[in-house]
Amino acid sequence: MTKIEPFSERIYVTRPVFPTIEEVTEKLRDIWAAKWITNNGPQHTMLERELEKFLKVPCLSLFNNGTIALMVACQSLRLSGDVITTPFTFAATPHVLSWNNITPIFCDVDDETMNIDANKIESMITPSTTAILAVHVFGTPCDVEKIQEVANRYGLKVIYDAAHAFGVEIDGQGIGNFGDCSMFSFHATKLYHTVEGGALVQKSKIVKDRIDLLKNFGIKNEEEVVMPGINGKLDEIRAAIGRIMLGYVEGERLKRINLHKIYNEEFAEVEGIRVMPTCAENIKLNYQYYVVRIDEKIFGRSRDYVYDELKNYNVYARKYFHPLCSEFTCYRQLNSANPNNLPVANVIGQQVLSLPMYGDLTEDDVRKICAIIKSFGR
Ligand code: T4K
């Protein structure tokens, strides 16, 4: 077998999409001319309307990041007590609950989608439960129908952490239309970004008004502060960048679809490497991440071996999401964090590896990454 040379430069798990300097400069000139740089300026207002259209959602409020947006979602829905969530997510998801004095209750995940297992939620509900906080992990939609059905039966609110799900649709409906509220992250590492940023999406103008108060210190006007709010505002420069980036999303998505296909092709015959789930035809995905699961018993090498060895070839994959949130020192004492309660999540946490995925990767890059990984198998 011919020796595979390492990449000459580091290949990261992702790379932000950059607009041209000229496009940004043009927008900066508008902002300088308007002399309005934050606090609900024209770029902000225009971006909210443009995103509502793009995401096919009725009401959207911009935020300075997805985490603060999710914090405000809990406040706007007046959540308390316990909220059922997934351990297989980024740290922000349960942390937001803790910052609201809410106890996260970890529910196991589905082996195929890696999302919260909707069939196990009911058994976790107690009189203290006020909501379900589900995550469309890696952009694969949760079982929204089943989750809503359980929530309705017990009078629970449903919040979706849609940080990964920008542009995802079910039956032509924007993913943000499900549940009481959805959060999107516009962090630089996402398919669509505003450098840092995020949004809350929900159905009612009245709730939007409350959210907009909460993200601006609760200030109604110069004389009245009506609730204990926070500073969740997105500034004009980032809003302007967000407006430019809307023009890049579909092109980036198409490039990623092609790269997904190549990864899938390359791994099709490899035993012990499981690729991402395929979704039903009524679901439009965004192809933001490419994630595999490595079964050590079949592949002959562990996920950690592959992760470490890839670095020798200058490939920096990521173990999204390991450790599980239920393994964090701040949560592992919770009853629901016991691994016996989370058998599927614990296996996935040991197997999962996010491989490089961004539009500037070439087809050859992807084929070479696959060849390197395949060369590790025994
Ligand atoms: N809920 C979920 C399910 C989430 O995944 C997230 C965020 C949130 C909530 C919270 O939303 P935000 O408050 O962030 O809006 C990254 C992102 O920072 C984070 O937004 C994201 N999830 C998470 C999954 O990934 P890290 O700590 O892995 O990022 P970092 O800095 O290691 O970047 C990853 C790779 O990207 C680097 O290895 C290289 C590349 N990179 C990164 C940056 C920032 C670049 O090439 N250039 C860059 O400027 O968290």
CATH number, position 159: 3.40.640.10
Report the run of H or E that residue 241 belongs to, with start and end.
helix 236-245
Ligand 1 atom nearest residue 67's Cα: 13
Take atom 19 of ligand 1 and give the residue whose Cα is closest. 187
Same domain for 170 and 123 = yes
- Tell me how far CA of residue 63 lies from CA of 134, 172, 178, 300, 345, in angstroms: 20, 25, 20, 45, 30
pTM over 0.85: yes
* Residue 342 is assigned to a structural domain of this protein: yes
Tens-digit pLDDT profile for residues 264-306 = 999 999 999 999 888 889 999 999 999 999 999 999 999 999 9
Domain termination site, one of 213, 247, 281: 247
Residues 41-66, mean pLDDT to the nearest whole number: 98
Average pLDDT, the chain: 97
Which residue type does 343 have? P
What does the pLDDT read at residue 150?
A: 98
Helix (H, G, I), strand (E, B) or coil at 143: coil
Domain termination site, one of 247, 277, 308: 247
Ligand 1 atom nearest residue 89's Cα: 3
pLDDT at 309 over 70: yes
Question: Ligand 1: which of 189, 200, 360 to mutate, most ligand atoms within 8 Å of CB?
Answer: 189
Question: Ligand 1: which of 187, 200, 289 to mutate, most ligand atoms within 8 Å of CB?
Answer: 187
What does the pLDDT read at residue 1?
A: 62
* Residue 309 is assigned to a structural domain of this protein: yes
DSSP at 116:
B
Around ligand 1, the residues with Cβ closer than 6 Å are 12-16, 65-67, 89-90, 92-93, 135, 161, 163-164, 185, 187-189, 198, 316, 320
Q: How confident is the model at residue 76 (pLDDT cuts 50, 70, 90)?
A: very high
What does the pLDDT read at residue 3?
A: 86
Report the run of H or E that residue 104 belongs to, with start and end.
strand 103-106
Which residue type does 339 have? P
* Residue 3 is assigned to a structural domain of this protein: no
| Cβ 302 vs Cβ 294: under 8 Å | yes
Same domain for 73 and 43 = yes
The share of the chain scoring above pLDDT 70, in percent, equals: 100
Tens-digit pLDDT profile for residues 14-37 = 999 999 999 999 999 999 999 999
Q: How many residues does the chain have?
A: 378
Helix (H, G, I), strand (E, B) or coil at 61: strand
Burial level of 229, CB count in 10 A (0-12/13-18/19+)? buried
- What whole-number distance in Å separates Cα of residue 191 and Cα of residue 148? 27
- What whole-number distance in Å separates Cα of residue 357 and Cα of residue 164? 13
Residues 330-346, mean pLDDT to the nearest whole number: 98
Ligand 1 atom nearest residue 68's Cα: 13
pLDDT at 220 over 70: yes
Take atom 29 of ligand 1 and give the residue whose Cα is closest. 189
Q: How confident is the model at residue 40 (pLDDT cuts 50, 70, 90)?
A: very high
Domain CATH code at residue 326: 3.90.1150.10
Positive or negative CA dihedral for 220, 223, 224, 229?
positive
Q: Domain range for residue 319?
A: 11-15+248-376
- How far, in Å, is the centroid of ligand 1 from the Cα of 321? 12
Tens-digit pLDDT profile for residues 163-192 = 999 999 999 999 999 999 999 999 999 999
Domain termination site, one of 247, 266, 296: 247
Structurally, how many domains does the chain consist of?
2
